[in-house]
Amino acid sequence: MPGEDFFKIVDQRNTGPDGQEIDPNLHRRLKHPWCVECQEAYRKKFPEQPFKILCEGIYTDDDFAEIAHDTETPVEEIRELLDRPTWAEKHYRLADSKGVFQPFVAREYQARAMRCTAKRKIKRWGRGLGKTQTDIIEELHTATTRRNYETLVVCPMKSQSDKWYQEIKRAIDSDSELSKSVIRKQKAPFYQIVWGNGSTISIFCAGSQSGRNADSVRSQSPRRTHLEEMDLLEEGDHDAIKPLLSRYGNESEFSGSSTPLGKRETFWEMCTQDPEVMELHLPITVHPDWGEEMEERCWRDARTQERYSHEYLAEFGDQKGGVFKNAFIDQARRHYTYADLRHNPKFRYFMGVDWNGSGNGTCIRIIAFDPESKKRRVMGMSTVDESQIASCEKIRELNRKWHCEQIYIDAGFGNVQDELLKLMGWAEGADDDDQRLKDIVKIDFGGTMEFNHLTPNRGYARHQQREQLERRTKPFLVEGAVMCLEQGLFEYSDADSVLDDQLRAYRVKIYSAHGYANTYDSGAAGDHHLDATMLALLAIELRYGLLYQPKKRPATATSMRLLSGFGSAQAAVSATTAEHRETEKRAAGIVSRQIESKRDHVREARVRHLMRNGGHISIPSRPVDIPAAAGGVPSRTHNLRPGNPRRFF
């Protein structure tokens, strides 16, 4: 147990004007094992600092019995009032596999989070642990056990605010006592539930992607604020919300939860630097179903080591310096020069072209694929900032030099150029290399791609089903490049400062509601040579697949304990000597499944007709489709006599 000075702020808060203890049982509750672990972790995080977390310790059966006796209130009512898991088991129901509602029974870590009395706390949990469900129960309990208590819930996206409202409504409709206690539910101008005791839960959408900076919440005056998926909120949102967190001083309550994205912004600061916030950190390994099968599913969903670390281990990881982490970039650098390289008939060569307007020019990258080692190596680069004809000539020249198996170009500025290149492929007397220009593939970064499970082997088992999966093109393109670096399958020259700078500067600009990357930015470094590189990598993957071997940790045994932080609860991972499970996915020989449409045949026939009749190629009125597979309250003193605002419902 920490020394006396450690609790000097706690003692000051618990001392009344007459010098007597306000709550004589506070120190006894602070000796609960969970509280002791929290205090020990706090001292490691903030050495030489007193304990600043405002809490009341963990209530136990002794407290319930004593309070019931002092207030002449039934013990069970006191238990429901002060113990959220007990309340949830009685009033919150979940549908089982047959659709029958059953009483909610909290998992051990959920019960621990619910019973924590810290007035400012954050859940940093891995995805799939039920943090939203836990948060909803906490807010429902708060609203139904306190009078005239305003709770504000802020979500980054509308889909999340919809989910909160629908889940609360479902909980109310499935419990007769909750249903009778509600006097009004509204959907506009914002979601709100009003209880007969005067308490409210108001649910707002911050509109983080729209840049509104949570303007809609500025007029609110809540006693309790909950922030859903905090790391998805923009800094402008937090600037608007922060004044609400201390509107009533020490009587204001704050709750937040999120899976980390790796940013070093408000969520990270509150988790790691705010001594008044209790942080509960839980990785997916504490899930009761955790095992080999679940671990494999998580890896398949994450696909990259970095995303697995954020999404499932709930770790902040490296500072968010970019999509491609410096350790993997350094690993990919090799000491060679492009000018010294020559064609090797054992390798397969692919070209990526990022077509831009004047200024940035056309960026071209050649990448060799070694079928034996599965390595991808940059063999050459070129930038053409002249006419479009000059760019086409350069592409033909490089294609003749490297005998490229396939060429992928960016559709942004390539709507006419691909026609010119195809024209070269149809020219009379065209050699084998030039004829490959007829099969050039145009990729729309802003579009979507459809592919079979077997085509891009990104950790999926070889499923028998043949349904098509659809993914947004740019995130899919970037994800594949990240996986190549993480698996040590990509190499480039250490003299290639252009690609090196662009790899290190590449960042996620906007995230989706589920934490996925939507758009990217690389600032002054630009991203055109990187885009050309990723196009060539995509061409290799769609032709030969991707060897996927996640760098997983050894099998672990987990137990709950508190780590350094504001009482951070985490799975204590005790490494065993178990060998890494074999996860290598053989992907060689998987060809992309391109389906030629009737329009493709008509288009090529048109090119042949123009060649024979000396015609010219006009700009099409709209982009021509490409094959889908190719890309296309006051301190609790327990005065619960009549008139006290904290009464159930």
Is pLDDT at 412 greater than 80 in this prediction?
Answer: no
d(CA 541, CA 590): 9
For residue 11, count other CB atoms closer than 10 A to its CB. Answer: 14
pLDDT digits (tens, 9 = 90+) for 540-550: 998 888 865 55
Using CA atoms, how far apart are residues 104 and 90, in angstroms rounded to an integer? 8
Tell me the β-bridge partners of 353.
364, 409
Number of domain units in the chain: 1
| Average pLDDT of the chain to the nearest whole number | 80
Whether residue 540 contacts residue 373, with contact meaning beta carbons closer than 8 Å, is answered with no
Nearest to 227 by CA among 158, 116, 352, 135: 135
- Three-state secondary-structure class, residue 525: helix
Instruction: For residue 452, list its beta bridge partners.
Output: 468
Residue 21 structure tokens: 């203890």
* Residue that the structure tokens 């940790």 belong to: 553
Residue 141 lies in a domain: no
Segment 114-133 mean pLDDT = 95
- DSSP states of 457-482 as a string? -SS----S---EEEEEHHHHHHHHHH
361 pLDDT tier (thresholds 50, 70, 90): confident
Q: Is residue 146 situated within a structural domain?
A: no
pLDDT greater than 80 at residue 621: no
Confidence of residue 446 (pLDDT cuts 50, 70, 90): confident
pLDDT number for residue 303: 76
Q: For position 389, what pLDDT does the model report?
A: 86
Number of alpha carbons in the 13 Å side-chain half-sphere of residue 35: 23
Give me 59's structure tokens.
């209530």
Query: Per-residue pLDDT averaged across 239-243, rounded?
Result: 91
Give the mean model confidence (pLDDT) for residues 493-499: 94
Separation of alpha carbons 116 and 281, rounded Å = 13
The helix-helix angle for 528-544 and 473-486 (nearest 10°) equals 80
Domain assignment present for 349: yes
pLDDT, position 514: 57
Q: Give the pLDDT of residue 356.
A: 78
CA–CA separation, 105 and 141 (whole Å):
15
Q: Of 168, 166, 113, whose CA–CA distance to 143 is shortest?
A: 168
Question: SS3 of 120, please?
Answer: strand
Number of neighbours of residue 591 by Cβ within 10 angstroms: 12
The residues, any chain, with a CB within 8 Å of residue 464's CB and separated by 6 or more, are: none
Domain containing 408 equals 326-549+586-630
- pLDDT number for residue 427: 81
Closest of 564, 560, 39, 568 to residue 281, by C-alpha: 568
Lowest mean pLDDT among 16-30, 402-416, 524-538: 402-416
Q: Is residue 333 part of a domain?
A: yes
In a domain, residue 625? The reply is yes
- In the chain, the amino acid numbered 268 is W
Per residue in 320-349, pLDDT (tens digit) is: 557 888 888 989 999 999 999 999 999 999
> Looking at residue 388, what is its pLDDT?
81
Q: What is the dihedral of CA 581, 300, 132, 240, to 10 degrees?
A: 120
Structure letter (DSSP) for residue 553: P
As a whole number, mean pLDDT of residues 369-377 equals 94
CATH number at residue 626: 3.30.420.240
pLDDT at 334: 94
Residue 291 — pLDDT band, cuts 50, 70, 90? very high
Instruction: Please state the rounded mean pLDDT for residues 28-48.
Output: 92
- Do 181 and 193 touch, CB atoms closer than 8 A? no
For residue 10, being part of any structural domain is answered with no
Assess contact for 343 and 516: CB atoms under 8 A. Answer: no
CB 492 within 8 A of CB 485: no
| Residue 293 clears pLDDT 60, i.e. is over it | yes
Q: Helix, strand or coil for residue 369?
A: strand
Which tokens in the block code for residue 140? 């429902």
Mean pLDDT of 615-641: 39
Q: Where is average pLDDT lowest: 452-461, 518-527, 637-646?
A: 637-646
Q: Tell me the three state secondary structure of residue 569.
A: strand
**pLDDT reading at 413 higher than 90:** no
Per the domain annotation, does 572 fall within a domain? no
Q: What is the predicted pLDDT for the residue at 432?
A: 85
Confidence of residue 453 (pLDDT cuts 50, 70, 90): low
Does residue 120 contact residue 257 with C-beta atoms inside 8 Å?
no
Could you tell me if 367 and 540 are in contact, meaning their C-beta atoms sit under 8 angstroms apart?
yes
Residues 54-111 pLDDT 10s: 999 999 999 999 999 999 999 999 999 999 999 999 999 988 878 888 899 999 999 9
Higher pLDDT, 66 or 525: 66
Q: Which among 196, 185, 198, 87 has a CA at the least distance from the CA of 147?
A: 198
State the DSSP string of 247-267.
TTGGG-EEEEEE---S--SHH
What dihedral do alpha carbons 180, 184, 187, 191 form, nearest 10°? -80
108 or 570, greater pLDDT: 108
Q: Evaluate if residue 611 carries a pLDDT over 70.
A: no
Instruction: Give the model's pLDDT for residue 359.
Output: 64
- Across the range 353-375, mean pLDDT stands at 87
What pLDDT does residue 469 have?
67
Residue 416, in any domain of the structure: yes
Sign, Cα dihedral of 454, 458, 460, 465: negative
Neighbour tally for 27: CB within 10 Å = 15
User: Do residues 208 and 121 touch, judged by C-beta distance below 8 A?
Assistant: no
